[in-house]
Amino acid sequence: MPEGKLAVHQLSTTDLRAVAAGEIDATVIGRLKVAELSKHKLLLTALMRAAAKSVPAVYAGTLVPAYRLLADVQAGNKQVVRDMLASPQFGSWTAHCLSRLGDFPGELESAFPLEEDLGQLSIVACAAALLARYPFVLDIPLRHGTVTFPMLGTARPGASAEWEWGSACLDDRGGRVCSSVSATRIALDGSAAPEPDDSWSQIPRLTAISCGLAVKFWLDDLDPYLDRYGLPRAAVGRDDLLTWQSRLTGAWRILARQHRPLAAMIAELIGSLVPLAEPFPGQPVSATAAAAFGAIGLSLPCDALAMAEVLVHECHHAVLSAVTDLVPLTRPGGEQLTYAPWREDARPVGALPQGIYAHFGLAGFWRRQRREGSAQARFRGNVEFTRGLNLTDQTATALGDSGVLTEAGTEFIAALRGRLATWHGESLPASVRKLAGDCELDHRVRWRLRHVRPDPRDMRSLVRSWLAGAEPALPLTAVSVSVERRPLLATGTARSYLLMLRYRDPERFQRWIRHGGSPSGAKHDHRRVDPADRAFLSGNYAAAAEGYLRRIAAGDDAESWAGFAVVRQHTGPAGVAAVLAHRPEVTADLHERLRPHGRPTPDRLAAWLADPSGPPSREPRAW
């Protein structure tokens, strides 16, 4: 509860630079946590005021009694209320309700009637009273006959209607939830099932300890205000819980032993994991929500290393969300769409700091992890580190030149790039750089072909020049382009998946290459490997080029152009390779426009664009 005048929270320039360089100590972590708690208190105050103005009856009948109960509990147990208000679902709930009341930007849609949404404060107050063992009785909303108490569990007394108000209480007979149908006892002693009909279940708790460092997470698949990630949640059964625990145990062993500062940060900042369903088999997902500070949504990672990777990645998102609540890094007006090498869609330039910082954290993780384990594990770590280093540095450079950064943002990105600069001199095998380069180029070309559109007038000028046998009417760099936001593809491509599999799981990669698909029921068997992709991935670049050219001649598709661009990086010539790598959308668009005029080869077009002095009628070079 707000306690008098709230403190002013800030990060010094020294703190900001330390965060940017990945040197986050306990003092900075403490400041971020206290600031987020203050934010939640401010949101609650704003919500109470907005409700009093917009829905006075609900304010008086629902919010005021709940607020009073929280204040009474706080008088005897400040820590319980503090923990409740600092919880991710509390922050998410306040932001959500303020959005519904029109006083806060965000989602306006809700599956719940407004009164039931606002009634969540009653559930929060009851949870705090139950945890503090403070006697009470209070009306609470029931959703489909159930109610989930944060940090406790879910009661299922049933109900005679979809939306119904029941009551919760704690007295000398214990805690209970009552509805029009029945009453359910609430377990406060740690027992998981006080009722034989499972009308009460506790929120599962994941714990791990390694090298003297412990971590505890709620694994919450039911709280409605942790359902903020735009993906279906995954139910967690008893067997699933054992698997989640096993993944965390292994991940924590990795983090506590090899990445202790990261592990300490995760243990302090993250309190809840929200299990998500994979949208497609073998396509893991993870996310954070700025309003739900302290929670991570994620599908079950495939192994302990993947779990460690997700925790590092998403914790860095959480850190930057807390930092930007105190120190804005970008100015208003950063809506211009641009390329983010970790996304398939076009992103606003103002959103880049989040991705940059999360992948900076991953690069640091893999920089240390690449020295551990077998030769294959070290090879994978080297590739992951190289990719993370390259894409983070390139995007940070572009962001620094964008003009959208505040003074603090400029300081932040400069400090981050300064740390990256110290990593660039580290020795890496040529095979690692080559493989990482293939992955990066494949993604960038596919993205440009999907989202970047050349100006039609400029393209018509190039068509006229080609048909006249003249030099291009304008240099390639002068062709205007625009970035469009297009719908996301349902899945990645087989080639992009296999480029990743080549260094993450070489044995499985070889099975794919041999069989042209996934044998023995392995994941991703809905994707088949194109012969040109198979030739490329096997190192047969001549056959791959022929295959991609046949596909391009049959019909311009982004996948064949992207594969061809990557092949030409290995076969040259340099000018053609550069055009296909950096401006593939111009070559592909020109090729399609010239289709009625003899179907010139992509090589001839790229050579013409790269070397304007050469006549377009010239025979293609042999390579």
DSSP assignment letter at 109: -
**Higher-confidence position of 26 and 107:** 26
CB atoms within 10 A of CB 331: 13
Stretch 398-425: mean pLDDT = 96
Task: Give pLDDT, residue 426.
Answer: 92
Q: Return d(Cα 389, Cα 386) in angstroms, integer.
A: 5
Task: Give pLDDT, residue 349.
Answer: 95
Stretch 339-358: mean pLDDT = 95
Residues 6+ apart with CB under 8 A from 511: 518, 519, 520, 522
The chain-wide mean pLDDT, for the chain, equals 91
| Bridge partners, 362 (sequence order) | none
For 214-262, how does the pLDDT look when each residue is reduced to its tens digit (9 = 90+)? 999 999 999 999 998 988 999 999 999 999 999 999 999 999 999 999 9
- Please confirm whether the linkage preceding 573 is cis (ω < 30° from 0): yes
Q: Does residue 194 carry a pLDDT above 80?
A: no
For 599-623, how does the pLDDT look when each residue is reduced to its tens digit (9 = 90+)? 789 999 999 999 755 444 333 322 2
Q: Around 63, how many Cα atoms within 13 Å sit in the side-chain half-sphere?
A: 23
Share of the chain above pLDDT 90, in %: 82
CB atoms within 10 A of CB 40: 24
For 470-524, how does the pLDDT look when each residue is reduced to its tens digit (9 = 90+)? 999 999 999 999 999 887 655 557 888 899 999 999 998 888 887 765 444 444 4
DSSP string, 262-277: HHHHHHHH--EEEEB-
DSSP string, 117-182: HHTHHHHHHHHHHHHHT--EEEEEEEETTBEEETTTEEE----SSSEEEEEEEEETTEEEEE-SS-
Task: Give pLDDT, residue 494.
Answer: 84
DSSP assignment letter at 232: P
For 101-140, how does the pLDDT look when each residue is reduced to its tens digit (9 = 90+)? 985 665 555 678 999 999 999 999 999 999 999 999 999 9
Q: Return d(Cα 47, Cα 108) in angstroms, integer.
A: 15
pTM given for the model:
0.92
**Higher-confidence position of 193 and 344:** 344
Task: Give pLDDT, residue 3.
Answer: 58
Task: Give pLDDT, residue 520.
Answer: 41
DSSP assignment letter at 63: I
How far from 389 is each of 416, 436, 502, CA to CA, in Å? 11, 10, 19
Q: Return d(Cα 366, Cα 372) in angstroms, integer.
A: 10
Using 50, 70 and 90 to split pLDDT, how confident is the model at 556?
low
DSSP assignment letter at 40: H
Q: Tell me the range of 103-117, 188-202, 317-331 where mean pLDDT is highest.
A: 317-331
Task: Give pLDDT, residue 319.
Answer: 98
Task: Give pLDDT, residue 104.
Answer: 60
- Helical H runs in 161-303? 238-258, 260-269
Residues 6+ apart with CB under 8 A from 9: 31, 34, 35, 38, 326
Sign of CA dihedral 221, 222, 228, 232: positive
Counting other chains too, the contacts that 392-398 makes at CB distance below 8 Å and 24 or more residues apart are 392/356, 392/359, 392/360, 392/363, 392/416, 392/420, 393/417, 393/420, 393/424, 394/341, 395/339, 395/340, 395/341, 395/352, 395/355, 395/356, 395/359, 396/356, 396/360, 396/420, 398/338, 398/339, 398/352
Q: Return d(Cα 465, Cα 596) in angstroms, integer.
A: 15
Q: Return d(Cα 252, Cα 250) in angstroms, integer.
A: 5
| Bridge partners, 297 (sequence order) | 274, 287
For 77-102, how does the pLDDT look when each residue is reduced to its tens digit (9 = 90+)? 999 999 999 999 999 999 999 999 98
Stretch 372-397: mean pLDDT = 96
Sign of CA dihedral 399, 405, 408, 409: negative
Radius of gyration, CA atoms only, the chain: 28
Contact 402, 322 (CB under 8 A): no
**Higher-confidence position of 349 and 512:** 349
Residue type, 361: G
Stretch 373-391: mean pLDDT = 96
Q: Return d(Cα 558, Cα 564) in angstroms, integer.
A: 10
Structure tokens at 235: 């139910």
Structure tokens at 556: 């311009």
Q: Does residue 60 carry a pLDDT above 90?
A: yes
Structure tokens at 507: 């044995």
The overall longest dimension of the chain from CA atoms, in Å, is 94
Task: Give pLDDT, residue 488.
Answer: 66
Task: Give pLDDT, residue 197.
Answer: 60
Structure tokens at 458: 């400029």
Q: Around 604, how many Cα atoms within 13 Å sit in the side-chain half-sphere?
A: 16
Counting other chains too, the contacts that 6-13 makes at CB distance below 8 Å and 24 or more residues apart are 6/38, 6/41, 6/42, 7/34, 7/38, 9/34, 9/35, 9/38, 9/326, 10/326, 10/327, 11/323, 11/326, 11/327, 13/408, 13/411
Stretch 445-456: mean pLDDT = 96
Residues 6+ apart with CB under 8 A from 89: 150, 220, 223, 225, 226, 272, 292, 295
